[in-house]
Structure 1
Amino acid sequence: MKKLLIINAGGTSTKLGIFHNTEVVSTETYRHDFSSLPIPFSLWDQYDIRKKAVQEYLTKHNIDIKSLDAIVSRGPAVKPLHSGVYKINQQMLDDAKSRRYGDHPCAIGCMIAYDLALNTVPAYTVDPPCVDEMISVARVTGLPAIQRKSFFQALNHKAVGRLLAKQLNRRYEDLNIVISHLGSGISVASHLKGRVIDVTNGLDGDAPFGLDRVGTLPVADWMRFCLSGDNQPEDLHRILNGGGGMMAHLGTSSAIDIEQRIQQGDKHAELIYDAMAFQIVKGIGAAACALGTRPDAIVFTGGLANSTYFTNKLKTKLDWLAPVHIFAGENELLALAEGGMRVLNQQEDARIYE
C-alpha cells in the first residue's frame, strides 16, 4: 500500500487529502484569511499561511513526511506541456514564480510539496492547466500576431476521459470524445485517441460564455468597448474573468440562484441561461467536427454538471450526435492521487520539466 499527501491550492482555500493508493483516508479544506498580509500582497506572500495549514493537517493526522510515498500537488501555470505526471523541480517553480505563463495559487501548492518532500519523498504534479496537445491548424487565427493557446481544466478532462474509458471497458487512447467542463468558465475539448487536439480557452475569452466568464465576443464590439475609456485595464481583466457571463447579465454566478429565479417566472434569466446552453451546444458541435469522425461519446463534467435542469437542455440537442455521459463535479484530489499511483506502480514514467 502506498501513502500519498495531496495538495490542491485554490483562490482562498487549500484542500488536502491523505490517500492509501487511490482510496481516500481523510480530506480537509482550510479556508485562509489573508488580512494580515501587507496590501497589496502578491500570490507568493501567501506561502507561509498555506504551508502552516499543511503542517497543521499533517500534525493533526500524525503523518510523518518520511512515512509518505509521494506528495502530489495540483499543477502550476508554466510553459506548455504534454499530458502526464511531472516531477516538481526548481525549474518548474522558477517558471511559475516568474508569472510569464500566468499566476495561480496551485503554484504555491507545488512549492510546498517540493519543500516538504525535498530529499525525503518524490513530489509530483499531474496534468497542469497548461497541457498542450493542440494540432498546428488549431492554433492559427486571422491575425499572425495572435495564436490560440491551450489552457484549460486538463486535470479533470483527462481524469473523466479515463473514467469513461474504464466504464466502457476500453482504453482512453482508443476513444474519440468531446468533453466539456461546465463551471465558472466553460472549456470544450476534442479528445482524439487520448490527445486533446483542440480546446477552447475560457480565460482568454475563447469559449462559450460561462457563469462569470465572457466567452467569445464579436471582436469589433469588444475593441470599441475597450477603447471607450469607461474602463481601466484592470477593469477589463475583471470583466473578462469574473465579471462576465451570467454574472454580467444577472448579477450572480450561482446556478442555484438562477434556476430559482427561472422557477419563479423570470423570463430574462431563462433567456440568458438558454443562451449559455446554446453556445455550449454549438461549441460541442464544432469540437465534434474537429475530430473528423462521429464521437464515441460526449461528456459533461464540472460543478454545473450537477444541474439536471441544465444538462437536460444540452442533452436534448445532442443525443443524436453521440451518447451523453455526465460526471458531475471535479474530484481533483482523487485525480491527483491516481496520477501519482500510475508513477508509483510503474504504469507511467514521471516526466522531467526542463
Structure 2
Amino acid sequence: MASLNVGIVGCGVISGIYLKNILAYRGLTLRACADMRPEVAQAKAASAGIEAMSVDQLLASEDIDLVVNLTVPAAHFGVSLAALQAGKHVFSEKPLAVDFEQGRKLVDEAEARGLLLGCAPDTFLGAGGRLARKLVDEGAVGRILSGTAFLMSHGMEHWHPDPEFFFKPGGGPILDMAPYYLSALINLVGPVARVFAMASIGFPERVVTAESPRKGERITVETPTSVMALIEFVSGAQVTFTMSWDVWKHGHPAIELYGTEGSMRVPDPNFFGGVVETTERGGEWRSHDAGALALGAPNWRAPNWPPEMPDRANYRALGLADLASAALAGTPHRSTGRLALHVLEVMHRILESAATGQAIAIATALDRPPVLEEDAAGALWKGLPETASAA
C-alpha cells in the first residue's frame, strides 16, 4: 500500500485547508468526508471531488485507513474512539479531547490496537519550527533559562460564523490556542514539570459580528478568557505564558526564549514558516528566514484579513503525512497522541491551578519529538495539483 486512504469527519471552517492540502502530500489519498449535517458534507465533497458519507458509513468503510477528526472539541473523544475501535488510524484537530482522562483512554486504545494516533498542531514541524529547533540544538542561544509566550486578541466572534463553542466549557484560549504554543515550546525546551496560573473572564458577554446567520446574537461566556501562567519545564526553564481573548492590541512577540548565550524570537506557532531571530550576548538581532526551507514559503491568507496583512505559510495536514510515513515506512511519528496528551494535561492543570491557587505538577512523561530533517520534510510534499480548489 503506497498511501493511506483518508476520510474526514467534520466539515466546518477548518476542513477547507485540510481538503486542499491533503492532495499535496505523499502517502495520503483523500476518499470521503462526513458531517452531522448531510448537506454540508455534500457541498464539501462536491468541491473536492470525493464521496460524501454519513459518519457511521465513513467509520465502517473498509476503504478508509485514516480518519481525520475535525469535529468540535466536545465531539473529539467520541469520534476518535469510534474510529480507533473500527481499526482506523486517527488524526484529530486539537485538543485531543476536552477531558484529560478521555485523552488518556484514546492513547491507550490506539496503543493497545497497534494503531497510530496523531493530533494537531503539526505547525512545529513546519519550516519555522524546524529552524528554531535546529538553532536551539546547535546552541545558538545556549541553555534555555526562561522565556515568554503570548497569544492575545479579542476573540473569535468577529470572524467565525458560529463562535459560541469558543466561549463555553471546553473552549477558551487555553484549550483552543495554547496547543500551538505548548507544542512549540515542548519541541524546543522539552516536557513540562509544573504550572501555576491565574484566570479571569474579561467580558461576560460576546456579540457575534461576523457576517453569518448568527450575526447580532449574544453569547454568555462560561470559561476563562484571560489566563496567565508560569510554566516550569523539566529542564528547569521557566516561561511566562499568557493566553487572552480580552485584548484589543498588543506588541509582544509570540514566543521569546532567553538562554545563557543569547535570546531567540520564535515565529507565530499557528503557522508553518516565518522568521526566527537570535541575538548573541546582547548583540543586534539577526534574522533567519524560514521561507526558503521546505514547507516554509507563504502560500495562504485568511479571506477576512486586511490587505496589509502578509500571506502566511499554511501547510496543515503535515501531521497526517508524518503519520502516514510512520505507518507505511516506519519513520518516526512526531505529532503523536502522547505529545497531545501531555499538552492536554498541561492545559487542564493550568486551568485547575487558576481555580485553586495552587502550583500543580505534571504527571505525564515525554521526550521531545524527534527532529524532522529538511530532506524528510521536503519529501513529504509533492505539491498541489493544478485542479485543486480551495475546498
Q: TM range, normalised to the smaller chain?
A: 0.3 to 0.5
Which is richer in helix? 1
Larger RCO, structures 1/2 (Cα 8 Å, 6+ apart): 2
